[in-house]
Structures are given as C-alpha cells and as structure tokens.
C-alpha cells in the first residue's frame, strides 16, 4: 500500500495522466490507481481479446476504473485545489461541451460566468507550472533537506489532515523502533502522530489490488497486534481502509 502511494506521488505528470507506470528494468506496467501489475512478455485476456501487457494495463484502467480523469478529479480537494463549480466546468470540458452547453446542463450560471471560471483555471495551471518548476530546481540542487528531514507521504484518502500528519522519516523510524519488536506492536500509542505511523506500518501488510473479508482483515492485524477490533476501526476512521455497510468486504482506499 505504501509503495503504491509513494509511486503515485513520484509519478511524472505524463504518468499520472495515463494512469500507469512502465518499469523497463523490471519489465512491468503498474496501475497507479490500484497497483495491479502486468508483466511484459505475457498475454492477457481482456473481455474477448488477447492483448500484450501495455494494452492490458490501458484496458484495465478503462474497464475497472472508468477513466484517469474522473479518478483524479475526484481526489480530495486538498490535492486538486478545485471548487465544486470548477470540477463541474472541467467535467463539461472533458466531455467536449461548449460554454452554453455547460450552462444548459448545470443551470443557474451564465456563459460569462463559465468563461470567468475557465480564465481562473488557466491562471491556476500557470501557477502550477511555475510551482513545479521551482520544486524541480530545489530537488535538482539538493536543497529540499537531508533524508532524515524528508516528509512521509500521506495516503491519498487520508482524513482529518492537519499537523499530526507532518511526519519526518526520522520520526517514523524512531517510533517504529520504540513500538515494534520482532514484527509485533508492543503497545498502541495514544498520541495521534505516533498512532498514524503505526497504522501506516500495519497497512504495509495489505496489498491494494484486492478485497478482503472481515475475517481476513482481522487475521492480518492479529499477526501484528492483539487488539484487532480497535485497530480495524482506526484504519477505517483514518481513511486507510473502506468497507461495505454490512462488513462483508474491505479494501484499501486510494
């Protein structure tokens, strides 16, 4: 789970847009949404077709996830920075609608309002390009900080995001050293930041590209900590796992 999250945030803009990463060294394609992998040299069945790995990952994204556009636009606002009206306009533009058609479909807005929002979106794009350029220059000059100061990435569906999520690599390693012995959690911390680090560690045992029964979730957690009921509740509360209302199926979020 953590590997997929890291892979997603380290992907290039082009890789995010297509929804997968191609690793030429390992010879595989990985879906950035769920982590499903396709190995070069193998042939995969997609509905009634047989396709190579490159085509298989594309069909997987289309058939299982719908479209990369809709996955990205439905990410949390803290990642997209988009208001509801901006999302509506982008959705309309993605579908090829004109300003008048967007007004007709959404109602309550004039064409001039849509044009003003489109202008603001273009300005946001310019700002994003400059910001990416600045961050790229910082990283290329090794000015972002020492490895111990490197911030641990959030999982994409993290809830209640605030200062408790500001965790450095050094902090994470210290907490794991103090709370994990022989692969077991010796005590579940009460402090929020430490709790999150332990939950992240537990989630490393959950591959993202599959679903789990409640019994399977309990068994995975019990291998690490005895109080699986409390930990399972926290994993859902903090956006690591999601489930059906009846508890019959669990899966890794984002």
Give the model confidence (pLDDT) of 224-245 as tens digits: 999 999 999 999 988 889 999 8
Instruction: Output the pLDDT for position 143.
Output: 57
Q: Which two tokens stand for residue 150?
A: 């490197």
Quick one: how far is CA 29 from the chain centroid?
A: 17
- Residue-level pLDDT at 156: 62
Whole-number pLDDT of residue 58 = 96
Give the model's pLDDT for residue 96: 92
Per-residue model confidence (pLDDT) at position 14? 95
Distance between CA atoms of 60 and 137, rounded to whole angstroms?
A: 35
pLDDT the model gives residue 100:
87
3-state secondary structure of 113: helix
pLDDT confidence of residue 139: 75
d(CA 168, CA 24): 31
So what's the pLDDT on residue 123? 94
pLDDT at 102: 87
Distance of alpha carbon 191 from alpha carbon 96, whole angstroms: 49
Ordered by start, the domain boundaries in the chain are: 2-67, 75-140, 149-252
Counting as low any pLDDT under 50, the low residues of the chain are none
Spatial strand order in the sheet of 250-252: 211-212, 250-252, 241-243
CATH 1.10.10 is held by the domain 149-252? yes
pLDDT score at 108: 62
pLDDT tens digits for 17-57?
999 999 999 999 999 998 899 999 999 998 889 999 999 99
On whether the CB atoms of residues 28 and 53 are closer than 8 A, the answer is yes
């Amino acid at each position: 789970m953590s590997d997929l999250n890291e892979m997603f945030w380290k992907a290039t803009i082009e890789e995010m847009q297509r929804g997968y990463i191609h690793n030429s060294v390992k010879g595989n394609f990985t879906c950035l949404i769920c982590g499903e992998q396709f190995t070069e040299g193998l042939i995969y069945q997609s509905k009634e077709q047989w396709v190579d790995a490159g085509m298989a990952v594309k069909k997987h994204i289309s058939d299982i996830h719908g479209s990369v556009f809709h996955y990205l636009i439905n990410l949390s606002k803290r990642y997209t920075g988009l208001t509801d009206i901006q999302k509506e306009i982008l959705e309309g533009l993605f579908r090829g609608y004109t300003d008048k058609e967007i007004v007709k479909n959404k109602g309550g807005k004039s064409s001039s309002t849509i044009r003003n929002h489109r202008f603001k979106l273009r300005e946001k794009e310019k700002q994003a390009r400059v910001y990416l350029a600045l961050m790229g220059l910082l990283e290329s000059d090794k000015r972002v900080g020492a490895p111990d100061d490197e911030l641990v990435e959030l999982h994409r569906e993290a809830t209640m995001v605030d200062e408790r999520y500001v965790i450095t690599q050094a902090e994470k390693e210290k907490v794991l050293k103090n709370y994990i012995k022989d692969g077991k959690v010796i005590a579940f911390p009460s402090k929020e930041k430490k709790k999150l680090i332990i939950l992240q560690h537990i989630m490393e045992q959950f591959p993202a590209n599959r679903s789990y029964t409640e019994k399977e979730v309990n068994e995975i957690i019990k291998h690490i900590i005895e109080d699986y009921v409390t930990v399972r509740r926290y994993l859902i509360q903090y956006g690591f796992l999601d489930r059906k209302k009846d508890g019959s199926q669990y899966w890794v979020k984002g």
